[in-house]
Amino acid sequence: MNSPADHVLLTRFNLPSRGAESRIRARDGWLQTRLGLFESYCLPSVRGQSNQNFHWIIYFDPQSPAWLRERIAELNQDSVFTPIFRAEVSSAELLQDLRAVTGARHNDLLTTNLDNDDGLGSDFVERLQAAGHQGTRTAIYLVNGLIRCGGGLYVRTDRANAFCSVREDWSGARTCWSDWHNLLGRSMGVREISGDPAWLQLVHDSNVSNRIRGRRVSPDPYRGTFGGLLDGVPDLSALEELKDLVVGRPHRFVKEAGRSTLKKLALNVLGKEGLDQLKSGWALRPVHRR
């Protein structure tokens, strides 16, 4: 059933946080780096959506410096997003903000998480809304995407990725922020949508969890959907492709398998808070590019 929904992208820009992210945000230059990534990738990718029938809420720390407030106002002269300044966002406050921004004109609410340092393919919103509604609360994942790290581009299938969405009735709505993006399936149905890459994840020095995963590829097949978000990524030679196949991918697979096992063990034994403490131990380690 493809009935209309009130669709909102949700972004935490610099909300005060605990755990792993709080240590990253204490680094010098964190805000400047994040703003640069937002301007280069996140903002243009939302502006470039083929379907513009959505809203975008971005949450900011009320203690944000004046220079950030001024720059955000400059970037938002076309009102592409709604900036909201809150020290924290409770479930009730989130629903209040969603109703105020959308007017709750439809029966359904569709919410999508978007990190401020990542980007969307130009047809992301179109494909997501075309998925329709199955009548019950459902977490929706466009499972294929790209990962960019410096001059390397990788295609990746992630069945519970951070670009998660939840479609549901407004009555009793929980939103895509009701749980970690990879745990939404514990409390609701899940729908996975395959196809061409729909999102672009950036791996950089201020990441907490993102790492290089997937198969290294040339950018040309994806420029039609991602455009300038792939500027500066070189074509992949046959030799480089072979090297990645023989050396790079096996190394990443083994490393990721170990981390995944450790995370599952920590989650099962220590719970979400324990896992977040474990991530805090990794937070200040530099990103190793391979």
pLDDT digits (tens, 9 = 90+) for 45-95: 999 999 999 999 999 999 999 999 999 999 999 999 999 999 999 999 999
Helix, strand or coil for residue 9? Answer: strand
- Reported as a pLDDT band with limits 50, 70 and 90, residue 2 is confident
At 122 the pLDDT is 98
> Where are any strands of DSSP class E within the chain?
5-12, 55-60, 82-85, 108-113, 119-120, 138-142, 144-149, 152-157, 165-169, 189-193, 199-202, 215-216
What percent of the chain lies above the pLDDT cut of 70? 77
Judge: domain 5-230, CATH 3.90.550: yes
pLDDT digits (tens, 9 = 90+) for 201-257: 999 755 445 567 789 999 999 999 999 999 999 998 877 776 776 666 666 555 555
Mention every residue, 6+ apart, whose C-beta is less than 8 A from residue 206: 24, 27, 30, 33, 34, 117
Describe the strand order of the beta sheet including 55-60 as a list of residue ranges.
Answer: 82-85, 55-60, 5-12, 108-113, 165-169, 138-142, 189-193
Cβ atoms of residues 181 and 161 within 8 Å: yes
| Helix 66-75 and helix 30-37, axial crossing angle in degrees, nearest 10 | 0
Cβ atoms of residues 165 and 139 within 8 Å: yes
Cβ atoms of residues 270 and 278 within 8 Å: yes
Helix, strand or coil for residue 77? Answer: coil
Give the predicted TM-score (pTM) of the model.
0.83
At 107 the pLDDT is 95
pLDDT digits (tens, 9 = 90+) for 139-193: 999 999 999 998 899 999 999 999 999 999 999 999 999 999 999 999 999 999 9
pLDDT digits (tens, 9 = 90+) for 277-287: 544 554 445 54
